[in-house]
Amino acid sequence: MATWRFVNFDFKESELLADLSGIVSDLKSASELCDLLTEQIEKQPMNFKLIEALNCALLVKYARPFASGVRKRVPIDIISELPEEYQKDHEWFIGLRNKYIAHSVNSFEENNVHAYLVPEERGPKGISSISVQENRMLCLGKDDISRIKRLAEEIAQKITALVEAERKNVLAFAKSFPPEDFYNQKLKPVKVPSRDDVNKSRRRR
């Protein structure tokens, strides 16, 4: 029985394939989180903390492929070629992630300080206590969840086509090397990140 094995193909020419595959993974995760969030919204009694956590995870996962980082972003033309309705939805979801989930900027979160007054019939006028009323959006509505799921799947499908095309390019590049170069190669162990790596960019060739 033949034993198939693999070796690392760590070249600059393979970076785009790796990046595109990571993008598809994030978008598929976003789509799956849509289903989990919808499932939790329909449950009674609602688990509000879990719903909020899933909502945050969904918006972060969706926005991740469009943010700057070591990995390449979703190509701009992927978004510009979408129907106008999809483009508006995309901008809205990215704005929600940037201005509400990642940073406290917009009116989707308000923390209002209230001063409770001593009832006049109970004595001298005055302030009896101070409290803060927290108002914030818990999660997307079902219609918005359907829209972001549709968006994630549409963009993932387009990126998947790029992945398949790039896979062929990388295979052609790999075949330009003598096969012995790879058969003689020892598989490098997977590097497990440590706590010290949290603020370090991962290395690329």
- CATH number reported for the structural domain that contains residue 66 in this entry: 1.20.120
On whether residue 164 sits in a domain, the answer given is yes
Sequential pLDDT tens for the chain (205 residues):
888 888 889 899 999 999 999 999 999 999 999 999 999 999 999 999 999 999 999 999 999 999 988 899 999 999 999 999 999 999 999 999 999 999 999 999 999 999 999 999 988 999 999 999 999 999 999 999 999 999 999 999 999 999 999 999 999 999 999 999 999 888 888 888 889 888 888 777 6
Q: What is the pTM of this model?
A: 0.89
CA atoms in the 13 A half-sphere facing the CB of 121: 0
What SS3 class is residue 28?
Answer: helix
Question: How is residue 1 written in tokens?
Answer: 């029985």
Does residue 148 belong to any structural domain of this protein? yes
- Whether residue 44 lies inside any domain: the answer is yes
Q: What is the pLDDT of residue 205?
A: 63
68 within a domain of the structure (yes/no): yes
User: Residue 196 domain-assigned?
Assistant: no
**Structural domain boundaries, residue 64:** 12-109+142-189
Q: Indicate the average pLDDT of the chain.
A: 94
What is residue 156's predicted lDDT score, i.e. its pLDDT? Answer: 98
Q: How many domains does the chain have?
A: 1
Q: Is residue 194 part of a domain?
A: no
Whether 97 is covered by a domain: the verdict is yes
Q: Domain for residue 160, yes or no? A: yes
Q: At what angle do helices 84-96 and 142-174 cross, to 10 degrees?
A: 100
